[in-house]
Structure 1
Amino acid sequence: MLFVFLSVVLLLSACGGKIENRKNWPLESFEHTDHNGMPFKKEDLSGKVWVASFIFTNCETVCPPITANMARIQRMFAEEKLEDAHLVSFSVDPEVDKPEDLKVFAQKFTDNLENWHFLTGYTQTYIEQFAKENFKLYVYKPKNDDQVMHGTDIFLIDQEGTIVKYYDGLDVPYEEILHDVKILLGK
């Protein structure tokens, strides 16, 4: 009998898996403006798992590929029918990126903005501190330059709004992200 019990426990734990290198970084509350010009806050994602990126619309280097990679993640969520999985892209150039700019930029990569939120409506100083203090991500806009220097990681956030893990946003481990999202969603 003990053997059967242990076998069932091992089978269940193998199916569920676990998230390797879990971080559990707290994420402060926020309220910004989305690509539709509407207020959007952390609490709007309560009960959802989400992947976050940091981009800006006139980026000449890493932002288009990061956003294309996020669009692929969005398609994977749709294929797997993961309705409680969302994406959030924070502008690191908020004083330039107005909601309408973000919407035009987003539409280059996806035609579905139901579960992908592009955010702006804060100061440059705010996003630099917010990224550093919460995501441990470098963001800096030099004076007299239209390009923003920033890290390229993307981040997994759980239903309670805790940063669980980060991944390379350019060389994306898609299957690992999908695996980790499914664990958080109990799938």
Structure 2
Amino acid sequence: MKKLMMIIIFTMLLTACSSGPDTPPVSSFEYTDQHGEAFGSSELEGKVWIADFIFTNCDTVCPPMTFKMADIQASLKEEGLEAEIVSFSVDPEVDTPEKLSEFLGQFTEDDSNWHMLTGYSQQEIEEFAREEFQSLVNKPDDADQVLHGVTFYVIDQEGRIFSEYNFTEENTVGKIVDDVKQLQ
């Protein structure tokens, strides 16, 4: 229990950090999307994108996070704004492309700009989240749930984190739409 509390406190501290103009771009990656196709940073070059970390077997925050991301997607579409959405699975050994597609289908019928990614090891996603997004991902050996941050990241056309929001923040959708407007 003590270890869990320390992880939660650490996660809260990490999500409170913000990015600045000196933030390096997210490192190159190429994984597998919900269609079983390769997708990565090369497809995101020159585009604004929004990222988060979720998993399909989540009992707590992932369904409301994905619901809110679907609201962001709809709001961007209403405003005529273009942005890609990238959801990294934090449980890649369970989350197959088929499971990701089925999960996404519960929240939106439009996956044209939403890429749910898998195709890496548990260790790889834990390192990627920590090193690129300063976010904790941890799957305890004896659990089917994964501890992870609840942050939405807005990434600019150069691949740098422009802003980040805890998904529970007031008016997260409006703030992210405003950020995307500012970047276009």
Query: How high is the TM-score relative to the length of structure 1?
Result: 0.85
Q: Which runs of 5+ in 2 are unaligned?
A: 1-17
CA RMSD of aligned residues (A): 1.1
**Structure 1 residue aligned with 2:73:** 74
**Structure 2 residue aligned with 1:64:** 63
For the pair shown, the structure with the greater C-alpha radius of gyration is 1
Once the two structures are superposed, what CA deviation does each residue of 1:2-45 show, in whole Å capped at 9, x if it has no partner? xxxxxxxxxxxxxxxxxxx6523421000000000000011101
Q: Which one-letter code corresponds to 1:112 in the other structure?
A: D
Deviation at 1:170, TM superposition (A): 2.7
Q: Within the alignment, does 1:135 sit opposite 2:139 as a pair?
A: no
Which of 76, 87, 90 matches 2:88? 90
Provide the rounded CA distance (Å) in 2 between the counterparts of 1:127 and 1:163.
18
Q: Within the alignment, does 1:114 sit opposite 2:112 as a pair?
A: yes
5 Å-filtered alignment, 1:19-34, equals 22-23=19-20, 24-34=23-33
Which is worse superposed, 89-98 or 24-33?
24-33
Provide the rounded CA distance (Å) in 2 between the counterparts of 1:72 and 1:25.
29
* Contact kept? 2:156, 2:183, Cα under 8 Å: yes
* Contact kept? 1:51, 1:156, Cα under 8 Å: yes
Q: Which one-letter code corresponds to 2:79 in the other structure?
A: E
Aligned length: 164
Please give the secondary structure, in 1, of the residue aligned with 2:110.
coil
Deviation at 1:68, TM superposition (A): 0.4
5 Å-filtered alignment, 1:170-181, equals 170-171=168-169, 173-181=172-180
**Structure 2 residue aligned with 1:17:** none
5 Å-filtered alignment, 1:148-167, equals 148-167=146-165
Show structure 1 runs of 4+ deviating over 6 A. Answer: none
* Contact kept? 1:32, 1:119, Cα under 8 Å: yes
Please give the secondary structure, in 1, of the residue aligned with 2:39.
strand
Please give the secondary structure, in 2, of the residue aligned with 1:114.
coil
Provide the rounded CA distance (Å) in 1 between the counterparts of 2:19 and 2:151.
15
Q: Which runs of 5+ in 1 are unaligned?
A: 1-20
Please give the secondary structure, in 2, of the residue aligned with 1:181.
helix
**Structure 1 residue aligned with 2:8:** none
Deviation at 1:159, TM superposition (A): 0.9
Please give the secondary structure, in 2, of the residue aligned with 1:160.
coil
Please give the secondary structure, in 2, of the residue aligned with 1:105.
helix
